[in-house]
Amino acid sequence: MKPICVVLTGAGISAESGLPTFRAEDGLWAGHKIEEVCTPEALRRNPQKVLDFYNMRRRNAAAAKPNAAHLALVELEQAYDVKVITQNVDDLHERAGSQFVLHLHGELNKARSSFDPDYIVPCYQDLLITDRDPQGHPMRPHIVFFGENVPMLDQAIDLVSIADVVLVIGTSLQVYPANGLIHQTKANAKIYLIDPNPNTGFIQRHVTVIAKKATEGVVEVVKQLLK
């Protein structure tokens, strides 16, 4: 049996493929205020603006390509049972070839009913305000907005709790509830933090820090783990 490696990824790994990070220094996300495009209230108040924003993000993600960090994680599957848990909503991990990807915050390439959260369909084109589920309810991006529950959190906790190795890549893990995942690791799990500006304050035990961007640091760590 292969040892289990759980990988927690955030905006930093996608940024190196040209996708804007979650929150820039000016407090905006891709030029928008969070409360205008990523809350249930925003969807009710101005659904067209929310759809336009995610349609733009979907187009940008489709044009991006997996980078060396995404590809190195696929290479790691030679020796490890790799489980990717990502806060990102793009599909770069899947396109790189990762066999298991759990999206904590939803997926750009899916839409769901605004009434029935279990009605989820593929969405590779622009989502229109006229799109409806079979009962006639409006469709919405399959994204976990601020203030909404994170349906995949329990599964993520279960995975982290059995990991032999944990890689934290391109995320400060400051966003609730994802920031609690690192505390679910086994006492003897090896933890690697790969980030050019590492924040170790959220980890209360030993962690190996690689203060490099993902395309450099992940490749370096994967080479070490495959030795």
The 139-143 sheet, strands edge to edge: 120-122, 106-113, 139-143
Q: Considering 70, 93, 105, 142, which one is annotated as catalytic? A: 105
What separation, in Å, do the N-terminal and C-terminal C-alpha atoms of the chain show?
Answer: 17
Q: How is residue 116 written in tokens? A: 């029935």
Where does residue 123 fall: left (phi above 0), alpha (psi -120 to 50 degrees), or beta otherwise?
A: beta
Tell me, yes or no, if 105 is annotated catalytic.
Answer: yes
Residues forming beta bridges with residue 165, ordered by sequence position: 5, 190
Among 30, 85, 77, CA closest to 54 = 30
Show which residues are catalytic. Answer: 105
